[in-house]
Amino acid sequence: MMNRTLSDQTEQAQIRYVSFMGDSRRYDIAIVKSDQQQDKSLIIDLQRSRYTEVHDRDIEDIDYFCHFLHLNNYEAEELQEYLTNVFDEETTLH
């Protein structure tokens, strides 16, 4: 069987690295945004090697973070609250 490439693209991306201390643990996160997917961000938990793509409108969904980043509810709330502030700050700057 021959492999067939379906897509192969190179694009510029904005990567923001943030580290913060929550009540439960330290978070080291990379947030990747590209021009092609402006309304989505790739969120990478650098300590746990987990990642998920989040649509900007879904940033409030705690269950999403619990499931895809394997966080408990408390950790997901901490991360969601912090990311909401980061996304609000980015919106204000643009």
Mean pLDDT of 52-65: 84
Does the pLDDT at position 91 exceed 80? no
Q: What are the beta bridge partners of residue 17? A: 30
Residue 46 tokens read as: 């650098």
pLDDT tens for residues 1-56? 788 998 888 888 899 999 999 998 999 999 998 887 778 899 999 999 999 998 87
Tell me, what DSSP letter sits at residue 23? S
Give the residues across from 65 on adjacent strands. none
pLDDT at 85: 86
The average pLDDT across 48-77 equals 88
Q: What is the arithmetic mean of pLDDT over 62-78?
A: 89
52 neighbors 64 (Cβ within 8 angstroms): yes
pTM of the model: 0.81
In our burial notation (b when 16+ CB lie closer than 10 A, e otherwise), range 22-61 reads eeeeebebebbbeeeeeebbbbbbeeeeebbebeeeebee
pLDDT band of residue 61 (cuts 50, 70, 90) is confident
Q: What Å distances lie between residue 75 and 8, 21, 27, 44, 68, CA to CA?
A: 35, 11, 9, 15, 13
